Structure 1
Amino acid sequence: MVSLYDISVPVFIRNLEILITLLKKASAHSGVSDEALVKSKLISDMGDLAFQIHVLTDLACGMASRAGKTELKEMPRTETNLNELQDRIQATIKVLKTVKEGDFVGEEEAISFTKGDLVIPFVGKTYIQEFEIPNHYFHFVTSYNLLRKEGIDIGKKDYLGKS
């Protein structure tokens, strides 16, 4: 049977590894500066590429802590170029690799997401399926789309990690 761990941790690791590859391709692209890429937005009221990666990695580290019952690794949001963003993603992958399947939240186990005064209660299944996975893909896909918008030569094969 597929577990909540199976549908989240290994998938997130793989997608983060794919994102590193996409950022490496972006670094090799001569038409756009690092600064322009990191600050790229789809629309003015939406976060830029750095923001998308910050949230993506913060959510993954938060999931490792809440659902994987590991110590929370908080990283300051100080990255200003593609290499620093790749390092941040690599640090997040390391955190996710510390999560043990046997310690992972159960389907009916109480869990909550807290940010400031906001507290959202869940059980394990809804936390992973209705909060973590949708948020992960939103910020992963938005990062991919920002790179495409800036003319980086990537496509669906790259997004799927098959290039």
Structure 2
Amino acid sequence: MPLTLHAAFVPSALQMLGTASHLLDKTEGWCATRECDHSAILGAQLIDDMLPFTYQIKSVAEHTAGAIAAVRKGVATPDLNPPPSTFDALREKLDGAKEAMKALDEEEMEDWIGRDMRFEFKETRLAFTAEDFLLSFAQPNFYFHCSAAYAIARHFGVEIGKMDYMGRVRARQG
């Protein structure tokens, strides 16, 4: 049986949403043991021209559930609203994205294959099929933003490692 669009996108999206939630929990716990200012790490950047931890976490949700909403509309535009500014608000954003991903119907996603889709931002217009948008644009983006959040937390000294980033892998049981 060929791989479905649902199978190619949704499990990986859920894995990285789980990773982002885990990173939030570990980072918040790290702050609690050090009585640090939450806003310091939530607003942290790896370098001045890179967006902060909060934006990286928000973007994992935007490139998973937000990408699905965009496919349904036929056009994707970046969410330029400020990211949530607390651990709890970021967690809510991720939880909403997880629920949206879990609710996806495989048949609905298969019907999207070949559908026209475009990305628009300022002067940029990129034409895609729905499957190419999800697999060549949204998916690399949610991996990138999850790794950026991991790198920021790790840079601050949060005790995390590769398995914290990998999250729940889909290993065979037995």
**Which bracket does the TM-score occupy, shorter chain normalised?**
0.7 to 0.9
- What's the offset of the Cα at 1:119? 2.9
Moved more, 80-89 or 137-146: 80-89
AA aligned opposite 2:11:
P
SS in 2 for 1:5: helix
Task: Pick from 55, 63, 68 the counterpart of residue 64 of structure 1.
Answer: 68
SS in 2 for 1:94: helix
| d(CA) in 1 for partners of 2:64, 2:121 | 14
Partner of 1:138: 144
- What's the offset of the Cα at 1:117? 5.4
- What's the offset of the Cα at 1:154? 0.5
Moved more, 91-100 or 39-48: 91-100
Partner of 1:13: 14
Aligned length: 159
Q: 1:97 to 1:75 in 2, by over 3 A?
A: farther
Moved more, 150-159 or 31-40: 31-40
| d(CA) in 1 for partners of 2:107, 2:94 | 24
Stretches of structure 1 that go unaligned for 5 or more consecutive residues are none
CA contact (8 A) 2:65 2:100 kept: yes
AA aligned opposite 1:83:
D
- What's the offset of the Cα at 1:98? 2.4
Q: 1:160 to 1:14 in 2, by over 3 A?
A: same
Moved more, 144-153 or 121-130: 121-130
Partner of 1:99: 104
Q: How does 1:42-81 map to 2 (within 5 A)?
A: 42-67=46-71, 69=72, 77=82, 79-81=84-86
RMSD over equivalenced CA pairs, Å: 2.3
Stretches of structure 2 that go unaligned for 5 or more consecutive residues are 169-174
- What's the offset of the Cα at 1:78? 5.0
1:39 matched to 2:46: no
1:110 matched to 2:111: no
1:128 matched to 2:137: no
1:28 matched to 2:33: no
| d(CA) in 2 for partners of 1:62, 1:119 | 18
Q: TM-score normalized by structure 1?
A: 0.85
CA contact (8 A) 1:54 1:77 kept: no
Partner of 1:155: 161
Q: 1:63 to 1:140 in 2, by over 3 A?
A: same
- What's the offset of the Cα at 1:23? 1.0
More helix by share: 2
| d(CA) in 2 for partners of 1:128, 1:85 | 23
